Structure 1
């Protein structure tokens, strides 16, 4: 009797483990294998020499101007611009899993993310973040054979991506309420599918 039920039980157990490893959150692992479909060395990896050259080019160019700007707008209180931004791994996984899910629900292919340089405004609620550089992650899809077009999966219709640029223009011009995109989810603070909430250094 024990032998009769042993094989089905093992099969069910392995099925659960396999499923948990293939969910978009990728929180579990089977033995030592990665949950991700491809964990080989990516082509985007760079050498330390490349890192040094790029970091030095930034430090000797754009960063100097950013430091000058920060010193000017802070009236000498701060003169060191953002050194780096940090994202907690679990938060990053959750964000990717969330965007993958809502894109799949809309039958829209998620191709990647635009990482857009930006700055916190001078009147930001956190005084320590004001005027500091930061990054915004925005989902992308294929439009007119371009793979990196920023789109809004949250409000897109099935198979029809709505462009982030369209929403930005409407919000900038205070025209969203009267647009074809207006719906019951509209508010003065319309939620997007883009992400920020990075921890920059300084000030942390």
Structure 2
């Protein structure tokens, strides 16, 4: 009887699970230790900021220029964006939305809040038919939506943002779509679509996400 009580007590202390296998509090696989995050931050500023900022100060003729150290989105904003991309996927089941690319960028000197500051923006990706076994991140192509004017703005053709693709096997990664899907109107290069009769009767929907809160904040004049 004592043994049964001990076993029951131990089971009661075990973490509850969603499916009987993984604890509900299990962290995502790619969570890194705190010290590693701090090391990444320090390494970036040691080998990037100290080299780049002096050049940017000369370029912008601004001896006090400090480049962006981080950008911030609220949790609600992130949830809203992911929900929107998931809705795009459900509305276009013939496509495979695979993830989100995070791009580095920089505002021009005419930007109202963050002139000349570094930023980043997000773009969803679709699966590339040309798979590279060595570089998985190259198997996902950034896209926007082309739809019939007057129709559903998130239901239509996924069109590659080839301007945002690296030159690495770029032609090979795009050709499978051009050969197999162009006749069906599912996919093509931006340049070729801009001058097609189909494109002239269509509108486009951007899925690019930006306008974050960046730091350092704007300086007082």
User: What range is the shorter-chain TM-score in?
Assistant: 0.5 to 0.7
Q: Distance in 2 between matches of 1:68 and 1:180?
A: 49
What is the DSSP-based 3-state SS (H/G/I as helix, E as strand, rest coil) of the residue aligned with 1:150? strand
User: Runs of 4+ in structure 1 displaced over 3 angstroms?
Assistant: 156-161, 166-171, 183-186
In structure 2, what is the equivalent of residue 155 of structure 1? 146
Q: 1:28-177 counterparts in 2 under 5 A?
A: 40-76=26-62, 78-107=64-93, 108-124=95-111, 126=112, 128-144=113-129, 145=131, 147-152=139-144, 154-155=145-146, 161-165=158-162, 170=190, 177=194
Supply the distance in 1 between the matched residues of 2:45 and 2:164 (Cα, whole angstroms). Answer: 34
Unmatched runs of 5 consecutive residues or more in structure 2: 1-17, 19-23, 149-154, 166-188
User: Which structure features the higher share of strand residues?
Assistant: 2
Q: Label 1:180 to 1:129 Cα distance change in 2 as closer, same or farther (>3 A).
A: farther
The aligned residue for residue 202 of structure 1 is 216
Give SS of 2:51's match. Answer: helix
For residues 74 and 200 of structure 2, the distance between their equivalents in structure 1, rounded to whole angstroms, comes to 33
Q: Could you state the TM-score of these two structures normalised by the residue count of structure 2? A: 0.60
Q: 1:181 to 1:95 in 2, by over 3 A?
A: farther
Aligned length: 159
How far 1:141 sits from its partner (Å)? 2.0
Measured after TM superposition, the shift of residue 177 of structure 1 is 4.2
What's the TM-score, normalizing by structure 1? 0.65
Q: CA RMSD in A?
A: 3.2
The whole-number CA distance in structure 2 between the counterparts of 1:92 and 1:69 is 33
Q: Secondary structure at the match of 1:129?
A: coil
SS in 2 for 1:118: strand
**Paired residue secondary structure (2:158):** coil
- Unaligned ranges ≥5, structure 1: 1-32
Contact persistence 1:135–1:196 (CA under 8 A): yes
Distance 1:178 1:141 in 2: 24
The DSSP-based 3-state class of the residue aligned with 1:94 is helix
* Aligned counterparts of 1:156 and 1:44: Cα–Cα separation in 2: 36
> Which has the higher mean CA deviation after the structures are superposed, 111-120 or 99-108?
99-108
Look at both structures and tell me which one has the larger radius of gyration over its CA atoms.
2
